[in-house]
């Protein structure tokens, strides 16, 4: 079994060859067919998050992330073996791996919200080895979703960027009959536009500081594109919306996007924070009650939402976001391209 591991933060990945593991109990072994390279992987690779305001960065090591680690939480694989207690899978099944595992025992996990587990998060590719490899072990078949013919390479991002944006959009479900604002036109932003359309939403104005993202956003159905660095960005958003804005989703998560997202909302609006770029909260505290603004965090999505998303993709024939296929051996290059903003959509590693 070949994998590419983080053995030191901010250092090139290390190629590791070990014996292919044999699944036990309810475990399932899959041969990896595709592994998406997510922006969150950059934070894992770098070892932490910028908290802004001069505070010490949030260390992933302090949060229980230990090295060496095989990253990759957007994985599709083919079942090649399973333990004696694994039910509901067969050799040759092609499945999307749901990676946001919890302890499996607490009330939150038992309610189906493993992604929100606070007892012992065990996310694949974050706390345990993930898809930057030619094989992956998953602890139980319930975390394997049947793709039923969807392309493994374009479907892999549904495990993170897909369910993340789907869950965020659902938090604005009551106002989707009017334009919302989406900050970020990368893989998540393009995914959000496709999902929003499939959910019957009016559409979104997309904000990004990279002009090269304008055409992909427009091609994906954006109602308009605004350069967030423009001095009149706020006025442009208002003009393109044509009415008070009640919902915004920040897929970037830095001080500038959080401020503009807050400012573009009318009274009673909701800002859903998704991105983990980093920085400190910029809002003037009195304006939160004065505008009656809701600021809600959204962390990926649960297993049920992931299944809903796959069903929606199949039912509405949602077009996949652009992907750049790269060999597994180019994992380092993919991370560096992502860091430099060279990618449109998603890079997907193919062993």
Q: Look at residue 73 in the predicted model and tell me its pLDDT.
A: 98
For 163-184, what is each residue's pLDDT tens digit?
Answer: 999 999 999 999 999 999 999 9
Contacts of 159 (CB under 8 A, 6+ apart): 36, 73, 74, 75, 96, 97, 98, 99, 306
Select from 123, 85, 77 the least CA-distant residue to 104. Answer: 123
For 291-317, what is each residue's pLDDT tens digit?
Answer: 999 999 999 999 999 999 999 999 999
Q: Look at residue 189 in the predicted model and tell me its pLDDT.
A: 95
Q: Among 57-66, 199-208, 225-234, where is mean pLDDT lowest?
A: 57-66
Q: 316 with 337: CB under 8 angstroms? A: no
Q: Is the pLDDT of residue 345 over 90?
A: no
Q: Is the pLDDT of residue 63 over 90?
A: no
At 110, is the pLDDT very low, low, confident or very high (cuts 50, 70, 90)? very high
Average pLDDT over residues 104-122: 94
Residue 231 CB neighbours (<10 A): 8
Residue 105 CB neighbours (<10 A): 11
Question: Within 13 Å of residue 209, how many CA atoms lie on the same side as its CB?
Answer: 11
Q: 193 with 206: CB under 8 angstroms? A: yes
Select from 64, 81, 109 the least CA-distant residue to 25. Answer: 81
In order of 36, 78, 280, the CA distances from 287 in angstroms are 39, 51, 17
Please report where in the chains the tokens 């442009």 appear, as a residue.
Answer: 236
Q: Is the pLDDT of residue 344 over 90?
A: no
Rg of the chain over Cα atoms, rounded to whole angstroms, equals: 20
Q: 98 with 39: CB under 8 angstroms? A: no
Torsion of CA 51, 54, 59, 62, to 10 degrees: -110
User: Model-level pTM greater than 0.75?
Assistant: yes
Select from 155, 193, 190 the least CA-distant residue to 306. Answer: 155
């Amino acid at each position: 079994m070949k994998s590419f591991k983080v053995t030191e933060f901010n250092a090139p990945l290390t190629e590791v060859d070990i014996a292919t593991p044999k699944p036990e109990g309810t475990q399932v072994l899959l041969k990896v067919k595709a592994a998406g390279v997510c922006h969150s992987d950059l934070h894992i690779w770098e070892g932490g998050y910028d908290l802004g305001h001069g505070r010490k960065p949030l260390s992933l090591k302090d949060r229980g992330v230990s090295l060496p680690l095989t990253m990759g939480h957007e994985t599709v694989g083919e079942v090649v073996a399973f333990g004696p207690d694994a039910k509901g899978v067969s050799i040759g099944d092609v499945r999307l791996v749901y990676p946001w595992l919890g302890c499996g025992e607490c009330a939150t996990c038992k309610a189906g919200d493993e992604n929100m587990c606070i007892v012992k998060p065990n996310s694949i590719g974050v706390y345990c080895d993930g898809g930057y490899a030619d094989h992956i072990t998953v602890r139980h078949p319930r975390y394997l979703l049947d793709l039923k013919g969807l392309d493994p390479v374009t479907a892999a991002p549904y495990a993170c960027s897909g369910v993340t944006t789907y869950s965020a959009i659902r938090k604005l479900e009551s106002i989707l009959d009017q334009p919302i604002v989406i900050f970020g036109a990368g893989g998540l932003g393009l995914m959000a536009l496709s999902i929003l359309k499939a959910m019957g939403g009016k559409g979104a104005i997309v904000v990004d500081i990279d002009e090269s993202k304008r055409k992909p956003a427009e091609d994906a159905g954006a109602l308009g594109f605004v350069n967030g660095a423009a001095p009149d960005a706020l006025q442009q958003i208002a003009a393109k919306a044509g009415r008070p804005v009640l919902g915004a989703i920040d897929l970037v998560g830095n001080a500038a996007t959080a401020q503009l997202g807050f400012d573009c909302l009318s009274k009673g609006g909701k800002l859903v924070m998704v991105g983990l770029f980093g920085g400190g909260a910029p809002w003037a505290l009195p304006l939160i009650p004065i505008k009656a603004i809701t600021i809600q965090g959204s962390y990926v999505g649960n297993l049920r939402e992931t299944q809903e998303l796959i069903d929606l993709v199949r039912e509405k024939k949602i077009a996949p976001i652009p992907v750049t296929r790269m060999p597994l051996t180019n994992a380092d290059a993919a991370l560096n391209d992502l860091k430099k903003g060279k990618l449109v959509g998603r890079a997907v590693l193919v062993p």
